[in-house]
Amino acid sequence: MVRLIRDLELNYINPENIRVVRSKGSHSVGTVARIHGLPKCVQVGLGLEPSYVIEVIDEKFSPLNKQQKIRVLIHELLHIPSNFGGGVLAHSRKNFLKLEELYFSKLEDILDLYQL
């Protein structure tokens, strides 16, 4: 994940505070992955830094090829706002899809560097 963040020049993201977990048995339809931010009140209350967890749904993520997996991870990373404060950007946010396509276009240049 550190390399992907660096290669995509997502410099506002602190890779030390990003974790990826696999879950099994999700009943959600069409969801391959989702991102969870640590709410500000929890950060303050427990004295923690802003953090994010990307949850990949094993049954849907594992069968994907390498390019599809990286696209999913990029998509989830783009939900992290530039202030890296624990919040999550919605799909409806202006330019989200344009930004996503920009980063997906960079994927072709770096795809061979990754093993998943």
Does the pLDDT value for residue 89 go beyond 80? yes
Q: What is the mean pLDDT of residues 86-104?
A: 78
Q: Which of 77, 98, 101 is nearest to 89 (CA)?
A: 77
The pTM (predicted TM-score) of the whole model is 0.85
Fold topology of 2-113: Zincin-like (3.30.2010)
Helix H segments across 8-79? 40-46, 58-61, 66-77
Enclosing H/E stretch for 37: strand 33-37
Is the pLDDT higher at 41 or at 97?
41
Query: 23 has which bridge partners?
Result: 57
- Quickly state the pLDDT bin for 43 (edges 50, 70, 90): very high
- Quickly state the pLDDT bin for 17 (edges 50, 70, 90): very high
